[in-house]
Structure formats: structure tokens, C-alpha cells
Chains A and B, each alone.
Chain A
Amino acid sequence: MIEAQHLTKRYGETNAVRDLTFTVKPGIVTGFLGPNGSGKSTTMRLILGLDAPSEGEVKVNGKRYAEFAAPLHEVGALLEARSVHPGRSAYNHLLAQAQTHGIPRSRVDELIELVGLESVAKKRAGQFSLGMGQRLGIASALLGDPEVVMLDEPVNGLDPDGIRWIRDLMKTLAAEGRTVFLSSHLMSEMALTADHLIVIGRGRLIDDVSVDEFIGRHSKHVVRVRSPQATELTELIASPDVTTEAVEPGLLEIEGLTAEQIGATAAAKNIVLYELAPRQASLEEAFMDLTRDEVEYQAVTPAHAKDHEGALAA
């Protein structure tokens, strides 16, 4: 269980997180969804106590993270940016983490096997690919057999096999009664993995909703109809529940009727149809619509982008 109350974090003038209140429940996978730069990583740092909130508070299993006697037993975290010394081997990294809690070496071996890093465990982590680095981070997160598993963009850099593996792992962990909280900027990924969604944009809570409800609310069922008698058809099906949009002459997008209903109506009146195609607006589109106004960094022209890079370098 993670409970955030009016959580706010300012860095100088920037409000990274603003007045976030939410609860992440055990037993399900909760997705933390937001565009890049929306404050997901900051929120996760606040949960771990790496950064202190400017206002509000966040508790894990009823306590501030720093109050726990065995924190790795409470929360296992994979943070977005790499959190491993590149000069140390995967095995030694995990061993040093384990030793802080008196976790035995056998558990380190077990996790290396679980994430499939046996063959490279003695190699320096700096030589790892992004995917191998993610696996090492996940091994580190599970080291203390934690009640809460928190992963920041876990599928980044993973191949399709790895992505499927993560999904299964998350579901398994949730089924075991753990709290699973994972962030992503990809709605499609969340739709496949998560049961519940916490959506943020520019540090503010936008939505706190089950995935089913989110899909139901945001996915439009539209039927695409091509007909030389488009105007006639439009008049025929007109009703308060039906919206018809003429995309171009002879091409309609109809919302509020199924393809079967439209086809039957057309057949009854001898209207010729060239095309009749049900189409579901993607969740990605719904998510983009939802967060359009909340994206921190709108696309900039190349000239500006160059300036921006220059400023960062300086």
C-alpha cells in the first residue's frame, strides 16, 4: 500500500509534482501513466525518501520509508536512471545491497537465476546492454522479497520476450498479494499489464481509475462507411444518439450504431455500401487527448531544440 497525501515537490521555480493524492492498493497492478517529464520519477523518488517533499507526505504500508528497520523488505524499486556502479559486477552489486540487510548469498544467486543473468553475473555492469541493466535492476528490486514493488519504466530497452516476461512477473507479484506500482508513458503497455491507472500530467493528478473504466470511457466505437449515397444514409440513421461525421464526400464516420445496424438499415433501403468497417480509437489516442495540455515539453522546431541542447551542455 502506498498513500500519497497532497504530495508536492518544487525544484527552485519548477513544480515537479503538485498536490498529488492517491492510493496504490495491494493485490493488483497499478499503472502510473504520464508523458515524459510529468513527474512520475520524482514521485517515485519521493516515495523512497531520496527526495524530500516540499509539502504533503507519502507513506508506504503506513510509515515513511526511512522509518523502516528493513526497508528492502518493504519496497523494492527499479528507478529509471541507472543506479548501479558500472565498475562493479552484477553479482557484487546485489551482494552489497543484500549485506545491508543480512540477506544471504543464496538469495543473490536465486535472483540472478530468476532474471536470467547467470552467464554475465561476474561481468562489470558497465558492459551491460539496457535490457540486461533492467534485469539487474529488477533483481535488485526483488532482493528483499518486498511487499511493495515499484518499477519506473521497466520495459524500457527490453526485447519482446523481456517485455512479456515483465508483464507475467508483475501479474504474479500482484497475485501474491503485493502492491505493484509501475510507471510508463505508453498507454498500450498499461492496458496489457495494469488493473488500475493513476494518470498524471505536469505533476498533477488527471485520473485515478480502473483500466476497464478508462478503456470504456475513452475508447470510441466508430464505424467507417463508404457509400455513393452517403447523404441519404446520414438522413436515414439520424437520431440524438448517433453522431455522423462526413470525413470526405462519400465517406462517413458513424458513432452510436454498430456495423450490423448500419448494414441492415442500408440493405432495407437499397443503399449501396462500398465499405463498412468498425474501428476502435486506440487508447494511445485517448491518452494523448487527455494529456495534450499537460505535456511539459511540446515539440520544438529544430532551431530551438539546438538552443536547448546548448543550454543543457552549458
Chain B
Amino acid sequence: MSAITALPTPIVRTRIHTSRVTQVRVALSEWTKLRTLRSTRYALLTGVAMTIGFAIIPAFVNASRWNNMSASDKAGFHPLDTSLIGVTVAQLAIGVLGVMVISGEYSTGMIRSTFAAVPKRLPVLWGKAGVFGLVTFVLALPSTLIAFFAAQAFLKGHSLNGHDIALSFSDPGVSRAVIGGALYLTLVGLFGLGLGAILRNTAGGISALAGILFVLPTVMSVLPSSWNNAISPYLPSDAGQAIMRIGHPAHTLAPWTGLGVLAAYSAVAIAIAAIQLRRRDV
């Protein structure tokens, strides 16, 4: 550290030619921020591992026990749900990461550096949402595909009523459900990012996210069933998960309608964050 006293004076004035702040540059900066934190890498890895792991384990267990299972268990077994159950576990990791992508900047004071560099502020929110959404989808899509094909590989050769229980990717609705699982994870992540930006606090953001995704559906179940049936399909988790269902059970939304409802929740959360971001002190 003693080298610091020998100040090479002229180096300060280098007249580097800075050009202006652009949305693309802000997005590149956000990509650097995302990839250079250990916690980000762990959360994304956890999301991938859960998506794949929670598909393979139940598929393996059911496949190996298939011949000993009761007829009603066999009838109740759903090969697609088994492949995508990991998505509903992974959503916690991805959603929490979404919250922390922005709340972490507030808790550490990094946000002051960020907004000193980009005082118009909104490009930061768009940059974060764009980069995080893209990174999540790029990791989630191979994860759901691997989860699906791995699970079906275990199930192949086991039959019910003379039909192989394994699904093919070209079966009706299957490709939509598998790709939709990745879209669902991405939208949950963006919903978390919106909540994190509104609440600007990690604990608050995670609580809100977990409350809305996991607690609210349970609370709804104590309401009179007519209320529950009317409200529940429109909750973010229930609506979004419609994309991963085959068929159209009662009191659920159609796949793309449901995913659209979740997308609307995420968009509204980010829009509220954007309005606040312009006005509030840092």
C-alpha cells in the first residue's frame, strides 16, 4: 500500500472519451453485476438443480415401484406433472433471486453508485428485468426439457391399460407445458424483481413473494368453496401454473390465459416499481 504515495500525477487527466449512457450499456452493466455475485450463481444453480432433480426422483421412484402400485395409484399418476413438479420448487429460488437482484442494492448501498451512474433510473429497472428475465429463461428452458426427457426415460416401458405411460414431446399440449414451465419460472422471477423494487428490502420482498405464491392459496381454501373457486384461479401461482396442465380442469384458467394473468401481475409490479423509482429518494 505504500506505493500509493508515489502519485503519478499526469495519469489523472487522461481525457477518456466517455460516450453517453444507453439502454444497451446499462443492460451490459447489469449483466456484469448479475454474473459477478456468488449468491446469484448459487441461486440459479439451485433453480436448475431443483427443476431437474424433483422431476427425476419421483419419476424414478414411481417407475421402480410401478408393478407394485395399486390400480387407483396408477390411475392417479400423471406423467407430465411428475416431470414439471420441480418447477414449483425452483420458483422459490428464482423468485428470491428476483427480489435480491434489486433489494440487495438497497441493503448494501450499491444503489447510490448505480443511480449516480444512471440518474434517469428507469434504464436500470429495464436493464435488470431484461437481463434477469433472459438469463432465467435461458437456464430454465433446458432445465425443463431435461427434466421432461429424463423423467419420461424412467417411465418408458411401464404401461397402464396396455398403453405406455411415458409421454412424447409431440403429444398434445406437452411441448406447450414443458416450454411453459420455463416461461412460468421467468415470470415468477420478474414478479419477485418487481416486489423487491417496490419494497426495497430483501426480507420484506421475500416474505411478500412467499406469501403470495405459497400462503395465499392455502388461505383461500378456508373460504366458502364458491368464493375460493372464483378467486383462486386468478392468484399468480394458480393462474401461471395453468400453462403446465394438460386438459382444462374445473376452476382453472386456460393455459395461455393463465400465463397471461401471471404476466400481468409481474408487469403491474414492475410498473408500480417504475413509478416509485422516478419519485422516491434513494
Interface residues of A (CB under 8 A from B): 45, 48-52, 65-66, 68-73, 75, 77, 79, 81-89, 92-93, 95-97, 99-104, 107, 110, 113-116, 131, 135, 140, 142, 144-145, 161-162, 164-165, 168-169, 172-173, 176
A51 touches B25 (CB 8 A): no
Are B39 and A87 in contact, CB atoms less than 8 angstroms apart?
yes
For the complex, give the distance between the alpha carbons of A140 and B112 in Å: 12
Of the candidates A75, A86, A114, which one forms a contact with B11 in the assembled complex, judged by CB atoms under 8 Å apart?
A114
Report if A83-B5 is in contact (Cβ < 8 Å); known contacts: A50-B115, A100-B25, A101-B21: no
- Asked if B110 lies at the interface with its beta carbon under 8 angstroms from chain A, I say yes
With A51-B281, A85-B105 in contact, do A169 and B12 touch (Cβ < 8 Å)? yes
B119 at the binding interface (Cβ < 8 Å): yes
B12, B33, B104, B110: the one within 8 Å of A114 (CB): B12
Q: Is B223 an interface residue (CB 8 A)?
A: no
- The 10 A-B pairs of least Cβ separation, nearest first, read A116-B4, A69-B20, A99-B29, A66-B119, A92-B36, A51-B281, A83-B112, A85-B110, A50-B282, A83-B113
Q: Provide the bound-state CA to CA distance between A75 and B30, in Å.
A: 21
Q: A85-B104, A114-B11, A161-B2 are in contact. Are A101 and B18 (CB under 8 A)?
A: yes
Interface residues of B in 186-227 (CB under 8 A from A): none
| B268 CB–A CB distance under 8 Å | no
Residue pair B25, A145 in contact (C-beta under 8 Å): no
The residue from B8, B105, B119 contacting A48, defined by CB atoms under 8 A apart: B119
Least distance between A116 CB and chain B CB atoms (Å): 4
Beyond contacts A70-B18, A71-B118: 4 other A-B pairs, Cβ-Cβ < 8 A, are A50-B112, A86-B108, A102-B19, A116-B4
- Report chain B residues within 8 Å CB of A49: 115, 119
- A77 near B116 with CB under 8 A, answer yes
When chains A and B are docked, how far (Å) is the Cα of A142 from the Cα of B2? 21
Residues of B within 8 Å of A81, CB to CB, are 109, 112
Q: Are B7 and A96 in contact (CB under 8 A)?
A: no
Q: How far is the CB of A96 from chain B (nearest CB, A)?
A: 4
How many angstroms between the C-alpha atoms of A288 and B105 in the bound complex? Answer: 37
A65 vs B282: C-alpha distance in the bound complex, in angstroms? 15
Smallest distance from the beta carbon of B2 to chain A beta carbons, Å?
7
Of A69, A88, A110, A145, which contacts B15 at CB under 8 A?
A: A145
Q: Would you call A176 and B13 a contact (CB within 8 A)?
A: yes
Residues of B within 8 A of A77 (CB): 116
Question: Which residues on the A side are within 8 Å of B38 (C-beta)?
Answer: 87
Min CB gap B251→A, angstroms:
44
Least distance between B134 CB and chain A CB atoms (Å):
17
Chain B contacts to A: CB under 8 angstroms:
1-5, 7-9, 11-16, 18-22, 25-26, 28-30, 32-33, 36-39, 104-105, 108-113, 115-120, 279, 281-282
Q: Which of B4, B8, B20, B33 has the most CB of A within 10 A?
A: B4
CB pairs A–B below 8 angstroms (7 shown): A49-B119, A83-B113, A84-B108, A87-B39, A114-B11, A131-B1, A168-B7
Q: Are B104 and A99 closer than 8 Å at their CB atoms?
A: no
- Which residue of B14, B18, B29, B109 is within 8 Å of A84 (Cβ)? B109
**Most chain-A CB neighbours within 10 Å: which of B14, B39, B105?**
B14
Q: Are A99 and B4 in contact (CB under 8 A)?
A: no
Structural contact, B109 and A82, CB atoms closer than 8 A:
yes
Q: Which of B108, B109, B113 has the most CB of A within 10 A?
A: B113
Check if B5 sits within 8 Å of A70, measured CB to CB: no
For A73, what are the chain B residues with a Cβ–Cβ distance below 8 Å? 18
Does the CB pair A97–B117 fall under 8 Å? yes
* Residue numbers in A under 8 Å from B39 (CB-CB): 87
Give the chain B neighbours of A164 by CB distance below 8 A: 5
Contact status of A107 and B12, CB under 8 A, knowing A51-B281, A84-B110, A161-B2? no
Given A142-B12, A172-B7, the answer on whether A101 and B119 have CB atoms closer than 8 Å is: no
Residue on A nearest B13 in the bound complex, by CB: A176
Q: Report A106 CB to chain B, min CB distance, Å.
A: 9
Task: Give the distance in Å from the alpha carbon of A85 to the alpha carbon of B8 in the complex.
Answer: 29
Query: How far apart are A128's CB and chain B's nearest CB, in angstroms?
Result: 12
Establish whether residues A140 and B33, one from each chain, have CB atoms under 8 Å apart when the complex forms.
no
Contact B116 A50 (CB under 8 A): yes
Q: Decide: B110 and A45 in contact? CB cutoff 8 A.
A: no
The reply to whether A99 and B14 contact each other, CB–CB distance below 8 Å, is no
Cα of A10 to Cα of B6 in the assembled complex, Å? 44
Please determine whether A88 and B26 come into contact, CB atoms closer than 8 angstroms: no
Contacts of A95 in B (CB 8 A): 32
Q: A83-B109, A84-B109, A87-B38 are in contact. Are A161 and B5 (CB under 8 A)?
A: yes
Contact present for B11 and A110 (CB under 8 Å): yes
Complex formed: what's the CA distance from A103 to B19 in Å? Answer: 8
Q: Is the CB of B13 within 8 A of A71?
A: no
